[in-house]
């Protein structure tokens, strides 16, 4: 049994509390449940020889007991010692840029020429007189889509001008004369601002998206289209950036993380955009229509809305996923509208469905007489002798489960008019809820 009295006098004189440097323990070996390690210590008043004496620590792992045995051992090889340089954190010289900062700067510099300032011409002259006054609706951000002069923004940024064009926006877009905005871009060559008139190329109120076409766009090389990424496979916690014109301050760069995915975005137009990206990157009035970027500088979404009680950023912003934008924009450029498939029924909002105690699925509120849903046998919500009878609740489309009305819109986005789909619905009957399957041929949304 080891006792303190058996410590050599020279070692008893060593006051462990005065140890100035302590090397990491080095595992020497083990025997059954005992592990042996050694370390060297130096003291204030010991000779150099004694300063390199080693202590042996024997830890009993079994039973939770432990004790320390001290005795001179051979010196630890110098290869195991840490140098002062190895344990000192790297300190950048004054004015130096870290690798993380350099990456963020690169994202900004690569995208700044692809981001536009958009002003609705119906609201020109109503911009704020000072930074303390909110920029009104109609001042926003856009994204250079291609080298042909198409710029993408949000529908609500151009709301006043689009209202003035009337209900048939596709026809007005086809005319090529519907001037709706002023677009300001940085020239990639000179770095100076260039202002262009822009006409409507197409608009989709449902997804809060619009496409502008620049009149008299610059020559080849004068436009720098944004590099598009993908919103599939995004993870909560990923770093992201936003570039826009909040409160009229052009080319403003903010950073944050993706804080949630799959959000239903309540747009200013009264529609709900499914599958949205939530971020805490600072987004304010004027950012709408601008890009949300990943850490590589690729566009993963179009900033569209913020949730705030004050009108300014509260750390909860929403972006339309770029994969949805990719499906919509080519149709707007080609047709002026989206050729979206339809069941030709009206789906109740989630709040209405909840009041009617529908917990899951898409509730059919009304059915267009003679339409696709009517021909397939879908029943609307109606009033009976005992009160309101809920309509059919669509639970799945082609085997894909639907938890909300937004899920139905997402499922239909991947279909085309004329496609045949199989719906699984829950129907209220006198005998209670009954599940059945209905085959529907999708019509073109009008």
The better pLDDT of the pair 267, 79 is held by 267
Retrieve residue 373's tokens.
Answer: 């849903």
| Rounded Cα gap, residues 264 and 267, in angstroms | 9
Rounded average pLDDT over 159-173: 91
**Model pLDDT, residue 431:** 81
Residue 226 lies in a domain: no
Domain co-membership, 308 together with 349: no
Provide the annotated active-site residues.
156, 208, 288
Rounded average pLDDT over 182-186: 93
| Rounded Cα gap, residues 266 and 109, in angstroms | 32
Domain co-membership, 277 together with 197: no
| 50 closest CA partner among 59, 40, 58, 60 | 40
Domain co-membership, 347 together with 368: yes
Domain co-membership, 210 together with 295: no
Residue 431 lies in a domain: yes
Contacts of residue 280, Cβ cutoff 8 Å, sequence gap at least 6: 256, 257, 259, 315, 316, 317
Residue 223 lies in a domain: no
Rounded average pLDDT over 227-236: 94
- What CATH number should be reported for the domain holding residue 175? 2.40.10.10
Domain co-membership, 75 together with 118: no
- Among candidate residues 335, 361, 392, the one where a domain is terminated: 335
Position 390 confidence tier, pLDDT thresholds 50, 70, 90? very high
Position 269 confidence tier, pLDDT thresholds 50, 70, 90? confident
- Among candidate residues 301, 335, 369, the one where a domain is terminated: 335
Rounded average pLDDT over 363-382: 95
Position 80 confidence tier, pLDDT thresholds 50, 70, 90? low
Rounded average pLDDT over 199-215: 94
**Model pLDDT, residue 429:** 85
Retrieve residue 206's tokens.
Answer: 């449902």
Has residue 57 got a pLDDT over 70?
no
Q: pLDDT for 293-345, tens place per residue?
A: 999 999 999 999 887 766 666 778 999 999 999 999 999 999 999 888 999 99
| Rounded Cα gap, residues 167 and 175, in angstroms | 14
**Model pLDDT, residue 271:** 77
Quote the number of domains for the chain. 4
Has residue 267 got a pLDDT over 60?
yes
The better pLDDT of the pair 97, 105 is held by 105
Alpha carbon separation from 36 to 2, 67, 82 (Å, rounded): 15, 12, 21
**Model pLDDT, residue 66:** 41
37, 55 contact by CB (below 8 A): no
Determine the structural domain holding residue 273 and report its residue range.
239-335
**Model pLDDT, residue 61:** 37
Domain co-membership, 259 together with 324: yes
Domain co-membership, 321 together with 373: no
**Model pLDDT, residue 323:** 94
Alpha carbon separation from 335 to 172, 201, 405 (Å, rounded): 11, 9, 26
- Among candidate residues 291, 313, 335, the one where a domain is terminated: 335
Residue 138 lies in a domain: yes
Has residue 19 got a pLDDT over 60?
no
- List phi, psi (to 5°) of 409: -60, -40
Q: In which residue are the tokens 């009337």 written? A: 166
Domain co-membership, 346 together with 436: yes
Contacts of residue 183, Cβ cutoff 8 Å, sequence gap at least 6: 116, 117, 118, 119, 142, 151, 195, 196, 197, 198, 212, 214
The better pLDDT of the pair 126, 266 is held by 266
**Model pLDDT, residue 77:** 52
Has residue 59 got a pLDDT over 70?
no
Domain co-membership, 210 together with 110: yes
Residue 184 lies in a domain: yes
Has residue 143 got a pLDDT over 60?
yes
Domain co-membership, 251 together with 297: yes
- What CATH number should be reported for the domain holding residue 397? 2.30.42.10
Is the alpha carbon torsion for 176, 177, 180, 182 positive or negative? positive
Residue 97 lies in a domain: no
Domain co-membership, 350 together with 398: yes
Rounded average pLDDT over 405-417: 85
Q: pLDDT for 89-103, tens place per residue?
A: 777 777 788 888 999
Residue 224 lies in a domain: no
Q: In which residue are the tokens 């020279």 written? A: 10
Residue 310 lies in a domain: yes
Own/partner long-range contacts of 58-67 (Cβ < 8 Å, ≥24 apart): 58/34, 59/34, 59/35, 60/33, 60/34, 61/33, 61/34, 61/35, 62/33, 67/2
Percentage of the chain with pLDDT > 70?
77
Instruction: Specify which residues 422 forms β-bridges with.
Output: 439
Domain co-membership, 165 together with 191: yes
Q: Is the pTM of this model over 0.85?
A: no
């Amino acid at each position: 049994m080891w006792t303190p009295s058996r410590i050599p006098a020279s070692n008893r004189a060593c006051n462990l509390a005065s140890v100035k440097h302590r090397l990491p323990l080095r595992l020497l070996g083990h025997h059954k449940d005992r592990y042996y390690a050694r370390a060297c210590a130096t003291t204030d008043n010991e000779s150099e020889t004694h300063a390199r004496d080693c202590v042996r620590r024997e830890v009993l792992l079994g039973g939770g007991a432990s004790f320390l045995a001290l005795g001179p051992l051979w010196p630890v090889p110098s290869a195991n010692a840490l140098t002062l340089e190895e344990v000192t954190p790297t300190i950048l010289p004054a004015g130096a840029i870290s690798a993380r900062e350099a990456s963020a700067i690169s994202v900004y510099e690569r995208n700044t020429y692809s981001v536009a300032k958009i002003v609705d011409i119906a609201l020109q002259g109503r911009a704020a007189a000072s930074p303390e006054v909110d920029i009104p609706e109609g001042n926003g951000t856009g994204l250079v889509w291609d080298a042909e002069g198409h710029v993408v923004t949000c529908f609500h940024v151009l709301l006043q001008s689009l209202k003035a064009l009337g209900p048939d926006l596709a026809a007005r877009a086809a005319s090529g004369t519907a001037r709706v905005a002023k677009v300001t871009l940085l020239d990639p060559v000179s770095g100076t601002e260039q202002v262009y008139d822009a006409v409507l190329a197409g608009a989709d109120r449902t997804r809060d998206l619009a496409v502008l076409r620049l009149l008299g766009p610059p020559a080849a090389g004068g436009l720098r289209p944004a590099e598009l990424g993908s919103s599939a496979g995004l993870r909560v916690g990923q770093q992201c950036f936003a570039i826009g014109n909040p409160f009229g301050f052009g080319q403003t760069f903010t950073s944050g993380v993706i804080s949630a995915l799959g959000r239903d975005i309540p747009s200013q137009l009264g529609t709900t955009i499914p599958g949205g990206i939530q971020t805490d990157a600072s987004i304010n009035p004027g950012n709408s229509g601008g890009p949300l970027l990943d850490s590589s500088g690729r566009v993963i979404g179009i900033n569209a809305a913020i949730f705030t009680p004050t009108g300014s950023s509260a750390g909860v912003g929403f972006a339309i996923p770029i994969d949805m934008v990719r499906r919509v924009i080519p149709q707007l450029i080609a047709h002026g509208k989206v050729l979206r498939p339809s069941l030709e029924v009206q789906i109740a909002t989630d709040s209405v469905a909840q009041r009617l105690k529908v917990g899951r699925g898409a509730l059919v509120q009304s059915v267009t007489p003679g339409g696709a849903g009517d021909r397939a046998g879908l029943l609307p919500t109606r009033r009976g002798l005992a009160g309101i009878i809920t309509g059919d609740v669509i639970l799945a489309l082609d085997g894909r489960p639907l938890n909300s009305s937004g899920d139905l819109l997402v499922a239909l986005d991947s279909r085309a008019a004329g496609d045949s789909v199989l719906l699984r619905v829950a129907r209220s009957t006198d005998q209670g809820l009954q599940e059945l399957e209905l085959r529907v041929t999708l019509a073109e949304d009008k």
